[in-house]
Amino acid sequence: MLNNLEKLRKKNKISQQDFAQYLGITRQTISSLENGRYNPSILLAIKIARYFGKSVEEIFIYTEEDENYEK
């Protein structure tokens, strides 16, 4: 799944470590999210969206490729 997480995090000048600590997850999880290697739980996606004042869909981009992955 594509996302704008790294761009938003850097725009808000928050490190991976600080953001992870705020969310209660590891820095490695933030890295995996930003690189598209890990899809967040719905609760984590909502926490991230609320932090940035955006909708989940503005941060995480669901594509046709993602749809094929789930079948």
Taking only the tens place, the pLDDT of each residue in 27-65 is 999 999 999 999 999 999 999 999 999 999 999 998 877
Is 30:19 a contact under the CB 8 Å cutoff? yes
- Does residue 67 have a pLDDT over 70? no
What is the residue whose two structure tokens read 């790294």? 6
> Can you tell me the mean pLDDT for 6-13?
97
The verdict on domain 2-70 having CATH code 1.10.260.40 is: yes
What is the residue whose two structure tokens read 């719905």? 42
The residue that leads in pLDDT, 71 or 12, is: 12
| Distance from C-alpha of 64 to C-alpha of 22, rounded to nearest angstrom | 32
Reported pTM: 0.86
Domain spans in the chain, listed from the N-terminal domain onward: 2-70
**Token reading at 28:** 């490695």
| Distance from C-alpha of 46 to C-alpha of 67, rounded to nearest angstrom | 20
For residue 4, the model assigns a pLDDT of: 96
For residue 34, the model assigns a pLDDT of: 97
